Homo-oligomer: A and B are copies of this chain.
Amino acid sequence: MKLALAQLNLTVGDIVGNVAKIKQTIQDAKNTAADVVLFPELAITGYPPEDLLLKPQFVTDNLTALKEIAKIGKGIAIYLGFVDRQGTNLFNAAAFIENSKIKTVYHKMNLPNYSVFDERRYFKPGNKVAVVSYKGLKIGLSICEDIWIEKGPYIQAARQGAKLILNINASPYHVGKIKTREKILKQRAKQIKCPIAYLNLVGGQDELVFDGGSMVVNAKGQIIAAAHQYHQEILIVDLRAEGKIQPWMSETEDVYQALVMGVRDYVHKNHFSDVVIGVSGGIDSALTLAIAVSALGKEHVHTIYMPSQYSAEQSFRDAQRLADKLWVPLKVMPIEKIFKAYLEELTPNFQGQPANITEENLQARIRGNYLMALSNKFNWLVLTTGNKSETSTGYSTLYGDMAGGFNVLKDVPKTLVYCLANWRNQEKEIIPRSIIDRPPTAELKPNQKDQDTLPPYDILDEIIKFYVVENKSGQQIVAKGFDPKTVKKMIAMIDRSEYKRRQSPPGPRISPRAFGKDWRLPITNGYTGEAYS
């Protein structure tokens, strides 16, 4: 039995485009003499279609598309994800199409409704295990979560004689996820003594990145074929032989490539070609720029340096050196004159109040206005440069440095920003050493340093990991040896910044818990995080 695992980059909602890609792939698979071609979970609609599913016409269109695809299935079998409908009930479904006939429709039995998933909002769970006979082989059908669950339907399928399990996925990336997938698949295959063909989606969709890395595991729990991460590919596997095994990337490269794909797909799938980035001479904008160039090519990336009276000379030198190394031009647009004009208009209304965060935010907002003006004038998408340490603590200006369409490092803590910069510099210095070595500063008042306000980033990022990713309480974090005052202050900052995050642009998720679909904290929130006594 020869399988073709179509690890495609599809687009949510673009039924017409997805169908064209699926049809072309079926032709390609036929040309390789494959017996079955697999497509990802909800391939026709893209994943996750979210509230598009509440539009009855959208579901109808996807059903029409399924029939159209089936028509070209002569001489091959197709296992394809789509949305099924019975009355008003929807199902996360997959059709097994043999020789142009829809032979079996399987309804996903295990619907994830945690983390970034809301499948219970849309779908009813299926209640029937599906095993099809094809070319003398019994094949068990499953979708994504079905294989993650202990005692999932694959067990019953094996009992009913299945000698192969097909599992189609839209499994979003986070650090280390591919190893988890590999481990679970090996376990499952050994448990049921049956090979599993695991196909994943590839591509970015708003905050989610699907990393590909499809694989086939044999009945002994060994990988016999593995596809690229972050690339479209049709992985061809003859079940009797070992196929191509693409080794997985290192964890740091993995994050970098996830960010690159996240940016590229957000920009292109939203019909932009070019982006603009405000570079400050600091490490966050430097890494953002490097990623953007990797994603889009240097000719599609525009950079602006926007100095104020508080900008050090080193900042400009570093920004210029960075731009030179990446071969992108650097435009300089000072903000001082406008800042003064604001102060002249505003100060009479400030009733003698002392300078405070107001004046700092104003500078950041003038820069935001510049970037948005360039965006409006030239149709460049603004990439923002804040990192997860800043997004967590609210160390950023709403409508200022937060203004833009996509926040590349939104889920990347500062300590990981440094790792990624060093990784990027491995072969050749792209991000100037002086940027990496310089103590971080927002340059919004004289001699400002991040560490005037925040604890050292290695400490802050640990606190963020425990509090944001792992839902630990302040007491639990203190028990790990952190300073109680620091923990209390950081938790308060994180909680208080919810209103800012709610108005922040999306950014690619790379951790098990990012600010986005899996972060639904109330803004109005009286919980102090301190234990009730």
Chain A residues in contact with chain B, CB under 8 A?
11-18, 46, 48-52, 54-58, 60-62, 64-65, 113-114, 118, 120-121, 204-206, 265-266, 269-270, 331, 333-334, 337-338, 341-342, 344-346, 349-350, 353, 356-358, 361-362, 365-366, 368-370, 372-374, 376-378, 398-399, 403, 405, 471, 473, 475-476, 499, 502-506, 519-527, 529, 531-532
Whether A373 lies near B346 (C-beta < 8 A) is yes
Whether B525 lies near A12 (C-beta < 8 A) is yes
Q: Nearest B residue to A343 by beta-carbon distance? A: B373
Which residues of B have CB within 8 Å of A65? Answer: 532
Which residues of B have CB within 8 Å of A399? Answer: 365, 368-369, 372, 399, 403
Partner of A502, one of B18, B46, B403, B506: B506
Which residues of B have CB within 8 Å of A57? Answer: 473, 475-476, 529, 531
Whether A338 lies near B334 (C-beta < 8 A) is no
Partner of A526, one of B13, B206, B499: B13
* Copies assembled: 2
| Residues A52 and B499 in contact in the complex (CB < 8 Å), given A121-B114, A532-B64 | no
| Residues A471 and B524 in contact in the complex (CB < 8 Å), given A113-B113, A337-B341 | no
Whether A521 lies near B52 (C-beta < 8 A) is yes
Whether B376 lies near A526 (C-beta < 8 A) is no
Partner of A51, one of B50, B331, B373, B521: B521
Which residues of B have CB within 8 Å of A51? Answer: 519-521
Whether B527 lies near A15 (C-beta < 8 A) is yes
Whether B357 lies near A331 (C-beta < 8 A) is no
Whether B521 lies near A50 (C-beta < 8 A) is yes
Partner of A345, one of B46, B338, B356, B361: B338
Q: Nearest B residue to A525 by beta-carbon distance? A: B13
Q: Nearest B residue to A114 by beta-carbon distance? A: B121
Partner of A13, one of B121, B342, B361, B522: B522
| Residues A334 and B345 in contact in the complex (CB < 8 Å), given A505-B503, A522-B49 | yes
Known: A17-B526, A362-B373, A399-B399. 5 other contacts (CB 8 A): A52-B527, A113-B113, A342-B373, A365-B372, A399-B403
Which residues of B have CB within 8 Å of A365? Answer: 365, 368-369, 372, 399
